Chain A
Amino acid sequence: MSDPIPLLMTLAYVAIALWLGIRARGSHRMDSLEQWGVAGRSMGPLVMYLLMGAGSISAYTFMGAPGWAWSKGVPVFYVVIYLSYLALIAWYCGPRVWAFGARLGHVTQAQAVADRFESPLLGALTSLVMSIGALAYAVLQTIGAAYILEVMSGGLLPFALNIWLVLGTIAIYLFISGQRAIGVTNAFQGGLMLVVAWTIGLWAAHRMTGDWWFGGVFERLRETHVDFLTLPGGLGDMSFAFWTSSIIVSMFSFQQPVWLQWMSADSAQSIRRSASWLPTYYFVILPMVVVGFIGIFSLPHLERADTVALQLAFQQMPPVLVGLLGAGTLAAAMSSSEPYIHGTALTWTRDVIRPLFKLSERRTGQLARYLIFPIMLLIVGPVAMLNPGNLIMILLVGLGFAAQMLPAFIGLFVWPRATRAGVLCGLTVGFIVTALFTLVWPNPFGVHAGAWGLIVNLPLFVLVSRVTRPASDATLDRFMPIVAPGRPTSRATGERKPTSSSAMT
């Protein structure tokens, strides 16, 4: 290790995150789902903005996105688009989910599904299906974080040790402060990432072209690699079909941590405010993508595309910027890993273990905290140490599976006629189709496997829902004032539920 500054800055970031995470608890007791799970529903719009932004920006932004730019070109921008659309979903669904929590006492998304469809089985299935992709994602981010520490230390800190260093740090503040720690650390990480990405991107562009903007980089790219400026990109593998289906599948995958973020807001209005401005956070991706494009000229013979930003930093940037990049990348990885571990522990306890063993609310809250340890020790840590080459495949299958839960959310938010049987049938068939089109015949005709699953899942869901019995009026009566305020409760008479507002969005 030639210069200790990058490592020291990266470790300093870890120490600050740990300190903030522990302090986030304040004087609150953390043995209830309400506190440990959703921070007592206390987060204001600014924290929500950074929480939602940082939670959705993973190590992918600092490693994968520059790597995609380096190897494919503009196809990388599909991420910016689907993240912006996720904000539209948050704007509509977020306040309603928050109201589920405030009025109906929900914490997890599986709890809402179980309640709406009067089926603890469907709730448990939702929990388990969503956690496949969530755990794969947490493993990927942990691997990314461990890799950063290894690179920053020049190999002094071995990969295996780094995995446990990262997980240990997260475990401490997650156990002590739960969702409050995620809120505070993600807000810090979110701010740090914005500063780091723009500093690195502008500095790299200035060094290459002499300008403080990116125009010179792309003018040179147009002369030498014109195919990188349009779809299907430099590798020719991002067809319009794959671009479109990837955006659709990604924007409709209601991830458990996102649900918990909405639940953690101090009001429905705070979610709307933060969601309204959330797309602007995703400008953070632009400068890092430019770093990848610069790498096409500076580092044309890389073995691994996703190392382009780090390699460029080590070769061309002063140690302080290298340290900043290390801290920023580690922040991105940890801010994405921790909510997925937290969310999985919460939903497994609340939606699988509790109904199975008839636990009390208090006991469930206590158990959820402790469940993060077996999840880290027995799943995330060991799988990360194996560093399986097909983990991306597991993640894609997981996200494809998660998308198959869409009918349950359609039933929650827009279609009262949706039934438990319809969701279960659609989910089962969509699951099988997604698995086949991921593992056996990957993405036929260039369409995302999860989209194929939905193509079969949705019509089946509608068909079965039309011929099976819907949820009871008593259940729908509790949900309708939240999802459709002012809507007539009876189709024939036009009778309205008494609500204080008739505005229906």
Chain B
Amino acid sequence: MNHRLILPATTRGKLILALFTVVILAGLWPAVLLANHAVLVLGLPALATWSCLIIVASTAVMLIANRLLPLPESIRRTQDQPETAANE
């Protein structure tokens, strides 16, 4: 059995993982320092606008991922091939 960590094997998978990581890091220290200023952007505090941008970015990367990485058949069609769990 292959026990190695499960990581993306394709270039598209790696790209999506990188995008997800960037979006997550954007909400954490130290990236959040970029927005930690008492200025208003679009009428909102910079940190609030930053949070709204993270909402948009999260949605955007998932929509991109949906295009680049369609769900594998083995997940989409699992309902057709039920097994019995070992602990049943």
Chain A residues packing against B (C-beta within 8 Å): 73-74, 77, 80-82, 84-85, 87-88, 91, 95-96, 98-99, 102-106, 111, 114-115, 118, 120, 123, 213-216, 218-219, 221-222, 226, 229-231, 240-241, 243-244, 247-248, 267-269, 272-273, 275-280, 282-283, 286, 289, 361, 413-417, 470, 473-478, 481-491, 499-501, 503-505
Contacts and interface: CB of A to CB of B under 8 A. Distances in A.
Interface of B: 1-6, 8-10, 13, 16, 20, 23-24, 27-30, 32-33, 36-40, 42-48, 50-52, 54-56, 58-59, 61-63, 65-66, 69-79, 81-88
Given A503-B72, A505-B13, 5 more contacts: A80-B54, A123-B87, A267-B76, A280-B59, A491-B2
A88 B58 contact: yes
Contacts of B66: 272-273, 276
Given A478-B86, A487-B9, A276 B81 contact: no
Given A244-B29, A247-B28, A268-B75, A489 B2 contact: yes
B24 to A, nearest CB: 6
A486 B74 CA distance: 9
Nearest to A471: B1
A417 B45 CA distance: 46
Given A111-B87, A229-B38, A88 B78 contact: no
B54 A81 contact: yes
9 interchain residue pairs of minimum CB distance: A215-B43, A417-B3, A500-B73, A485-B72, A276-B62, A501-B72, A81-B27, A240-B29, A77-B51
11 contacts: A81-B27, A87-B59, A96-B75, A99-B74, A102-B78, A103-B81, A269-B71, A279-B55, A416-B1, A483-B6, A501-B74
Contacts of A77: 47-48, 50-51
Contact of B28 (A248, A268, A478, A500): A248
A95 B79 CA distance: 12
A240 B33 contact: yes
Given A81-B54, A105-B82, A74 B1 contact: no
Contact of A218 (B24, B45, B86): B45
B4 A103 contact: no
Given A229-B47, A491-B4, A485 B75 contact: yes
A229 B6 CA distance: 41
A5 to B, nearest CB: 32
B52 to A, nearest CB: 7
Contact of B55 (A248, A282, A414, A415): A282
Contact of A230 (B36, B51, B54): B36
Contact of A91 (B33, B50, B65): B65
Chain A binding surface, main DSSP class: helix
A88 B43 contact: no
A455 to B, nearest CB: 15
Contact of B38 (A230, A487, A491): A230
Contacts of B52: 80, 283, 286
Contacts of A486: 9, 72, 74
A204 B65 CA distance: 39
Contact of A503 (B10, B47, B48, B88): B10
A165 to B, nearest CB: 35
Q: Which of A87, A215, A275, A484 has the most CB of B within 10 A?
A: A484
Nearest to A289: B48
A377 B16 CA distance: 47
Contacts of B84: 104-105
B8 to A, nearest CB: 6
Nearest to B49: A77
Q: Which of A106, A230, A283, A489 has the most CB of B within 10 A?
A: A230
A87 B9 contact: no
B23 to A, nearest CB: 7
A505 B28 contact: no
Contacts of B72: 485-486, 499-501, 503-505
Contact of A489 (B1, B44, B51): B1
Given A470-B1, A485-B75, A74 B58 contact: no
Contact of A415 (B5, B51, B81): B5
Contact of A88 (B23, B32, B82): B23
Contact of B83 (A103, A286, A487): A103
B23 A482 contact: no
Contacts of A226: 38
B43 A218 contact: yes
A278 B60 CA distance: 11
Contacts of B88: 105, 361
Contact of B78 (A244, A268, A361): A268
B2 A488 contact: yes
A29 B87 CA distance: 25
Q: Which of A84, A104, A286, A413 has the most CB of B within 10 A?
A: A84
